[in-house]
């Protein structure tokens, strides 16, 4: 970039990349857990947290990998495929979250229509 000397840009790029990868590594196990539990339990809270952890740590690092100043053509192909897989994962998670919310809403409406409450004593 024209407004930064090349050494300053290289140092800033390395700091951004290391911090981003560190956040990605830290966020990946909870992200996978939230996606797994959200699908099993049909819990929209877990799925929304999965979406946030999918989008925030991974997207900046992946885009940064795609636009880094010095890279080989194979790196650009791999970064592009990661961006496309991330996009497909994000869209799929949104579709699943919407279906889970619709199913939970329908269950709640049926429960309210028939007067069954989970708080009644047996």
pLDDT one-digit tens code per residue, 46-90? 988 988 988 888 888 888 878 776 778 888 888 889 889 989 988
The tokens of 18 are what?
Answer: 């290391």
Collapsing DSSP states into helix, strand and coil, what is residue 18?
helix
Tens of pLDDT along 1-41?
Answer: 455 566 676 788 788 888 988 998 999 999 999 989 988 98
| Of 64, 92, 69, 66, the residue nearest 81 (C-alpha) | 66
C-alpha 121/C-alpha 118 separation (Å) is: 8
Kindly tell me the sign of the dihedral angle through the C-alpha atoms of 38, 95, 91, 89.
Answer: positive
Bin 18: left if φ > 0, else alpha if -120 < ψ < 50, else beta.
Answer: alpha
């Amino acid at each position: 970039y024209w407004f930064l000397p090349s050494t300053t840009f290289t140092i800033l790029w390395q700091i951004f990349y290391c911090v981003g990868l560190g956040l990605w590594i830290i966020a990946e196990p909870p992200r996978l857990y939230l996606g797994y539990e959200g699908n099993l339990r049909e819990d929209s809270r877990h799925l929304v947290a999965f979406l946030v952890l999918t989008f925030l740590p991974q997207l900046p690092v992946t885009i940064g990998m795609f636009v880094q100043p010095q890279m080989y053509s194979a790196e650009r192909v791999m970064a592009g495929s990661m961006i496309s897989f991330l996009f497909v994962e994000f869209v799929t998670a949104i579709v699943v979250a919407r279906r889970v919310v619709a199913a939970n809403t329908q269950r709640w409406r049926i429960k309210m229509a028939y007067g069954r409450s989970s708080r009644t004593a047996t």
